[in-house]
Structure 1
């Protein structure tokens, strides 16, 4: 019986042993676009018989493990692509490639790219690889998943690009390869736009919400068909185009700023601001009275933690058998920012000593409203003739309150808690906007051998700062001649100003390009010729009133008892109409180019020459007898360029480029204005020369996969007459003015490295740029001789160009799991130390300390069309710090905020805190 039972059990176990020992295999593979070969991240792969599914990872790969031997169906689907079914026989480990056809790759004879393709990382990489010039691109998808809210902040993720921040801590201007913002230009859909800035040409990039762009292109070399005023490079914002099918992308978000949560927010009633000055409202014969100036905009209300709010909407589709495409987009941001600032300007003292006279503590509160609208309409008349109309509007409002306490460091101060104290309040409301319309045509004739494209452009940028208001009262706790002991001095009102700034730039521009394609001796070539004409007009209006407190009996100062409780008189009741700050300026630029592009074996060459003629004139409101009332400037530049691209294989390029470029002075800089700025007297320079530059680039490019890259490059720039702001002595004692000038020639060279790699669901994106520029100027110092008499000494000092950091680095750790719909990014950005203010004294330049920024973003998709997202900016609360590489002179009393044992002096420290955002997104892409 025992033997019989054992036999039965043995027979029953045979199938189980067979099953447990059944051979299994692994099935893995990659999903790609059949035409472009790019990996399709997030594609869904299923084996119906086994009820198994997988999702393509960041590198486009998928895997099924422990698949029993047999024959199975494999089905692959991806939004916007035709699904495929294939049959596989599993008898060993299998490695598949599943190529999918884009549903929108061809519609009759009209080729239309799908929206998803146009916004993908892979498309951005492919555009970089195929470009004729050295270019870096960041895609819409990368922008959407980044922690950034504006185009300016997005740009800091690109190799060789750092940003200059506004007074509210927001990124504002791009510095490309160490070249200050004046050396770069800004385009929308390849068309240059005017600047609303009242003093410069460069465009404040924080005016543009990042959600409206399809991609951002940074060109670091120029071809002859590109405008030449871009020594550093160009920033081209390509706005969203019409999709091939219905597309909707909408989001709403809210959040807080950490500093606002902690300290609250100081607000003033923007509606109380007088939009026009008395002169502007009532004419030149009117004499202003105290009643013409409101006090309400200097009445601050402290609020507790107002919330930020954001919303975006993009919607597009095609109609009339896909001949008409429409894309509409809008973005709105309502943000509250506050921060505290320490400001201790270091001053030169005879003997070359650094003297700290003022210790300012400032509290800033900024209410930012950013609105963006864009519309793109394209119409395909037939396959050979197409028209497009693009309109964009960007509006930025900043209502900023600044409260300052300034303690005087020298006597009568005797230590902490004593000294003369000056108290300031300032209300500044600024509104900037840009409106641009472009009508474009693309035509193909002569059997497609001749292509013609043209653009007609109207753009206008405006800037308005109405009723920039301030007040000041002085007091403090100190001893004086009336008392040997410190006592609280009565706060007394002092003189202050009310200012109105308003300027506008209007552009009319036309572009025409012709390209003839053929072959010569079996060498294919494109011969291009074209031109551009721009007529620009600027109006600048400025009005400044000085208000003075009414003195008491015997001329005694008027006590300060609040903004509503003292009386003032208007020192200059007619305002300030007869100044050079009021001017009209015109600029006419005529350009033409000839360019040849041809390919011999693996070498692609793009070469040619561009000529640009610049005519400028201005007319100010200065008296007719005063020098500099009017002025004219004219110059012609002939600018050759050549770009070589050697295609080593389908994944690798080697590039060598040379181009000549220029940088024009801003309108304001060549007008002989003179006014008292926030820190020092500023003055224009009618003798300012424009900058020219010769530029060389060499870059190796490797694109191992469609969304991966390795870039290594070097660059060199030789600049003639670079423009920088510095100080000039007036000849009256040590008085000086801050003004633009040509301080000598300069060189700039550097090295770039970019690395992007994905393994499974993880990825790393990193870049590093080293830049070294040099300019040598003469600086003043002195030594004390003969018992303390100063002996002036002039020394040559070499330094980097203003705004140039030797080291810039970015890194991002990425995680993407398409199966559960999760994206995560931790981003780091480092900007090395750089000069922010050039001093006229030897060793006194102001340096920004190196800055590390960490940002975090995440997105979780659910219910097919929805996603929740979160962004945290400045995760570790990095501080903006400025210092002078010189220890402060010893003082009888301690100096606040200074380490007296250190070898440098702190000039400024701003602490912006973290910003938190949580939102919901809806995406429909049929």
Structure 2
């Protein structure tokens, strides 16, 4: 039975009031952790009032506070990996606030500044935040991002334990946590949920966020009640830079050129940032990044049976990112902020394709082109504040975000050559094709079809959230109670206008479009097609071309839909420190109202009645569901070097918008067969009745911090997932009787994921560094294959992922050699074939030379081993897709103030 929102809110307030007590007049301590120059701050340090057993953690700006300290003299202990433990006497007086700065120094004289200025600074900050976190987290800082040749947020995250990426044209795009489908993650920027610019998807393409705009990336592998519940894989938090991250004024400029050896292209990149704090109260931070990259790929793919396609890609990508952030802090107890982030990503792609269909004397070849410009953008606006009112911390935030994807005018040409002399054994990663000279001659082809496609997808979200936190003392133990709520209003639309022209092209000579043979490295490609000549021809002749009205209508209406989603969440959580044990537990309630609007589009072709038409029917659907999500996170500190964790959480993931959208594309054909008329029906459809994924999660981990900048950790995780979603053929089931084939997303049964996560990070005193992590998982799910139940792994679930980094640095240079690995995974079930993505192993290298404290030059080598992308059907010898991208070399210069 659904829980009423008002009832739950009243229950939360009642629980809060019952646990609150009127505190006696006490003293307060507010502090700031800095280096000796007081220009840099330390986040993630653990601060303890030894006599009282009270502890807290410094924030990203180095600040911390204790709000309810009895009058007396105490010892304050501050621990930070890579720095000396600091013990300072403090004198707390009733009704007064003690404000004090604390200076941390390196463990040895020669390491005095390395925790602030050296290349291990980012690693130290990330490990300290990880060690002191209430939940299971992995963190990467902006300094650490700069140690690798990573161009965007996705590529920066792949270095963390348990994380892997899905690539597009060789670039990292989507992030998987512990091998789980990226659609099952939650992504936020400065606390604001990020919509997806990709039509139909929930997964956020993190390649649209340049790495230069990032201050930290936090990956939460276990959630707490104050976090969104839709995070079966985990939650990724992108935090952009703030002026209060450093004292005074800072600035940075980077200029770079890169070269891709596959297309022999040179590409520029320019980025910069500046921060300034005025009068210690008002801060402004701004960053800008621009990258214009020319590259491409060579591709060959097949259907595993009788068809092979050769593809040649030439691509230009522009990435523009900007952030302007404002902070106003009139005093220590009141803070106001405005965070803005804008990212625009354009993809100008020209693709040539040859499709060979093998059918003896009836074999044919299609030569086609794709001329497409696509632009994606993300805008994120977040305003909020926090106020410390006595023992209460009050936080609130208002957010608006918008993501869109626009394809204004994609042009496709298809030329067909029939009765071609071609053959292939369809074997190997790169299957060979035997063809004679006539296949290479465009005069033996006819123009068959021209398609103009215009697509636009928009995803917008408005949200408001509030949090109330109060410090307590329960039976002599430090405690905290927190409650709050969040409202999200999201709308996702997809609009398509497709125009198909397949009329009389008898007067068109295909050779007029012929261009030079492209430099395709996987075999014989034949003549190219001239991009601008084909675009000019279409622009001139569009009004005279014959439009296939019915086919155009079904393609357009079938891909147009709108989804709306309203989510109301409230939560109540408590935290208590019992000696060395910290427990964080509570409940989160999420209520979801979902609606979708689209079309049932049916193409009817009936030879018996001589009817040929498209029938469009409006389709609307809505539903509501709610979830009560408990969670428990426990952290036990055996010593300042050894930390153990346990977490039990329940999380959900809502279906992809494309899977749950109200659309149906139906083709009904009635044709004569041996004197009788036979009707065949096929369909592809969304499923508005899909249930969300529901998961019970258990996590166990132990972390050993040897005292210097390093960690050795091991963890186990288990996930039991109900209602996981698969794409299946549901022909013959209820509502689809009489259909030959129906492709639709449906809920499966229970799936399980078990895994072990290992990590070792170590910085040696002689300058050498090593980082190694690996995750081994085993997943099991039941799905449908050719109408029968079939046991397999979860889609997009990699059983093994890992990273290995070797590094060396001194005052003059910094070197990193890295390897990332991702094992094979189930891509999809294609008809009666299982399509697998092969394992991927990539090696990158980066080197820096420091001219002085402010300037350095760097060199990056990306994909040194020229690793391709490979998919196969059933066995590795049956090609589904082979694509190679070549190596990329980068040379750059950085100046920092």
TM-score bin (small chain): 0.7 to 0.9
* Corresponding residue of 1:249: 252
- Residues 204-353 of structure 1 mapped to structure 2, 5 A cutoff: 204-242=205-243, 243-261=246-264, 305=265, 307-320=266-279, 322-346=280-304
| C-alpha displacement of 1:143 | 0.5
For residues 795 and 390 of structure 1, the distance between their equivalents in structure 2, rounded to whole angstroms, comes to: 52
* Corresponding residue of 1:703: 705
| C-alpha displacement of 1:382 | 1.8
Structure 1 711/568 Cα, relative in aligned 2: closer, same or farther at 3 Å?
A: same
Structure 1 503/361 Cα, relative in aligned 2: closer, same or farther at 3 Å?
A: same
Which stretch shifts more, 762-771 or 207-216?
Answer: 207-216
Structure 1 260/728 Cα, relative in aligned 2: closer, same or farther at 3 Å?
A: farther
SS of the residue 2:360 aligns to: coil
* Corresponding residue of 2:18: none
- Give unpaired runs (5+ residues) of structure 1: 1-30, 39-57, 62-79, 86-94, 103-112, 262-304, 347-355, 414-418, 781-793, 887-902
Is the CA contact 1:726–1:837 (under 8 Å) kept in the aligned structure 2?
Answer: no
2:723 to 707, 711, 721: 721
For residues 363 and 253 of structure 1, the distance between their equivalents in structure 2, rounded to whole angstroms, comes to: 27
| C-alpha displacement of 1:214 | 1.2
Is the CA contact 1:215–1:239 (under 8 Å) kept in the aligned structure 2?
Answer: yes
1:452 to 394, 399, 418: 394
For residues 845 and 118 of structure 2, the distance between their equivalents in structure 1, rounded to whole angstroms, comes to: 24
- Residues 27-106 of structure 1 mapped to structure 2, 5 A cutoff: 36=45
Which stretch shifts more, 753-762 or 639-648?
Answer: 753-762
| C-alpha displacement of 1:673 | 2.5
For residues 42 and 588 of structure 2, the distance between their equivalents in structure 1, rounded to whole angstroms, comes to: 39
| C-alpha displacement of 1:681 | 7.6
* Corresponding residue of 1:779: 785
For residues 226 and 401 of structure 1, the distance between their equivalents in structure 2, rounded to whole angstroms, comes to: 42
* Corresponding residue of 1:528: 482
Structure 1 130/542 Cα, relative in aligned 2: closer, same or farther at 3 Å?
A: same
* Corresponding residue of 2:405: 463
* Corresponding residue of 1:602: 580
* Corresponding residue of 1:916: 889
SS of the residue 1:773 aligns to: strand
SS of the residue 2:212 aligns to: helix
For residues 502 and 809 of structure 1, the distance between their equivalents in structure 2, rounded to whole angstroms, comes to: 37
| C-alpha displacement of 1:99 | 9.3
Is 2:498 the partner of 1:544?
yes
* Corresponding residue of 1:427: 371
Structure 1 575/797 Cα, relative in aligned 2: closer, same or farther at 3 Å?
A: closer
* Corresponding residue of 2:340: 391
* Corresponding residue of 1:811: 804
For residues 257 and 681 of structure 1, the distance between their equivalents in structure 2, rounded to whole angstroms, comes to: 43
* Corresponding residue of 1:108: none
| C-alpha displacement of 1:739 | 3.5
Is 2:817 the partner of 1:859?
no
| C-alpha displacement of 1:561 | 4.2
For residues 852 and 148 of structure 2, the distance between their equivalents in structure 1, rounded to whole angstroms, comes to: 22
Is the CA contact 2:620–2:662 (under 8 Å) kept in the aligned structure 1?
Answer: no
SS of the residue 2:144 aligns to: helix
For residues 882 and 365 of structure 1, the distance between their equivalents in structure 2, rounded to whole angstroms, comes to: 21
Give deviations 1:18-38, integer Å, cap 9, x for gaps: xxxxxxxxxxxxx99999599
* Corresponding residue of 1:297: none
Is the CA contact 1:34–1:99 (under 8 Å) kept in the aligned structure 2?
Answer: no
* Corresponding residue of 1:150: 152
For residues 617 and 418 of structure 2, the distance between their equivalents in structure 1, rounded to whole angstroms, comes to: 45
- Residues 702-851 of structure 1 mapped to structure 2, 5 A cutoff: 702-729=704-731, 736-759=741-764, 760-780=766-786, 795-818=788-811, 821-841=812-832, 844-851=833-840
* Corresponding residue of 1:67: none
For residues 343 and 588 of structure 2, the distance between their equivalents in structure 1, rounded to whole angstroms, comes to: 31
* Corresponding residue of 2:524: none
1:593 to 571, 581, 586: 571
Is the CA contact 1:550–1:558 (under 8 Å) kept in the aligned structure 2?
Answer: no
- Residues 643-654 of structure 1 mapped to structure 2, 5 A cutoff: 643-654=633-644
Is the CA contact 1:642–1:658 (under 8 Å) kept in the aligned structure 2?
Answer: yes
| C-alpha displacement of 1:233 | 0.3
* Corresponding residue of 1:410: 359
* Corresponding residue of 1:685: 687
For residues 188 and 451 of structure 2, the distance between their equivalents in structure 1, rounded to whole angstroms, comes to: 37
| C-alpha displacement of 1:636 | 0.5
Give deviations 1:458-499, integer Å, cap 9, x for gaps: 11111111122101001167369xxxx996682111123211
* Corresponding residue of 2:518: none
Calculate the TM-score normalised by the size of structure 1. Answer: 0.74
- Give unpaired runs (5+ residues) of structure 2: 1-36, 48-80, 85-100, 423-435, 514-533, 603-614, 668-681
SS of the residue 1:753 aligns to: strand
* Corresponding residue of 2:445: 491
Structure 1 464/653 Cα, relative in aligned 2: closer, same or farther at 3 Å?
A: same
Give deviations 1:806-859, integer Å, cap 9, x for gaps: 1111000011112xx201000001111111122342xx2111111110000011
- Number of residue pairs aligned between Structure 1 and Structure 2: 734
Structure 1 584/34 Cα, relative in aligned 2: closer, same or farther at 3 Å?
A: closer
Is 2:327 the partner of 1:371?
no
For residues 569 and 735 of structure 1, the distance between their equivalents in structure 2, rounded to whole angstroms, comes to: 31
* Corresponding residue of 2:471: 517
| C-alpha displacement of 1:687 | 2.3
Is 2:650 the partner of 1:660?
yes
For residues 637 and 105 of structure 2, the distance between their equivalents in structure 1, rounded to whole angstroms, comes to: 33
1:571 to 548, 571, 576: 548
* Corresponding residue of 2:175: 174
Is the CA contact 1:394–1:435 (under 8 Å) kept in the aligned structure 2?
Answer: yes
Structure 1 866/737 Cα, relative in aligned 2: closer, same or farther at 3 Å?
A: farther
Flag as ranges the 4+ runs of structure 1 deviating above 6 A: 31-35, 58-61, 80-85, 97-102, 113-119, 485-489, 557-560, 623-628, 730-734
For residues 103 and 639 of structure 2, the distance between their equivalents in structure 1, rounded to whole angstroms, comes to: 30
SS of the residue 2:150 aligns to: coil
Is the CA contact 2:328–2:337 (under 8 Å) kept in the aligned structure 1?
Answer: yes
Structure 1 738/496 Cα, relative in aligned 2: closer, same or farther at 3 Å?
A: farther
| C-alpha displacement of 1:251 | 0.2
* Corresponding residue of 1:670: 660
For residues 428 and 682 of structure 1, the distance between their equivalents in structure 2, rounded to whole angstroms, comes to: 25
Is 2:607 the partner of 1:618?
no
SS of the residue 1:152 aligns to: helix
For residues 870 and 133 of structure 1, the distance between their equivalents in structure 2, rounded to whole angstroms, comes to: 37
For residues 506 and 291 of structure 2, the distance between their equivalents in structure 1, rounded to whole angstroms, comes to: 48
Is the CA contact 2:83–2:104 (under 8 Å) kept in the aligned structure 1?
Answer: no
For residues 412 and 331 of structure 1, the distance between their equivalents in structure 2, rounded to whole angstroms, comes to: 56
For residues 920 and 410 of structure 1, the distance between their equivalents in structure 2, rounded to whole angstroms, comes to: 57
Is the CA contact 2:447–2:510 (under 8 Å) kept in the aligned structure 1?
Answer: yes
Structure 1 738/34 Cα, relative in aligned 2: closer, same or farther at 3 Å?
A: closer
For residues 664 and 115 of structure 1, the distance between their equivalents in structure 2, rounded to whole angstroms, comes to: 43
Is the CA contact 2:336–2:386 (under 8 Å) kept in the aligned structure 1?
Answer: yes
Structure 1 357/646 Cα, relative in aligned 2: closer, same or farther at 3 Å?
A: same
Give deviations 1:679-707, integer Å, cap 9, x for gaps: x9853222221111100000001111352
Give deviations 1:227-282, integer Å, cap 9, x for gaps: 00000001111111112121111100001111111xxxxxxxxxxxxxxxxxxxxx
* Corresponding residue of 2:426: none
Is 2:461 the partner of 1:502?
no
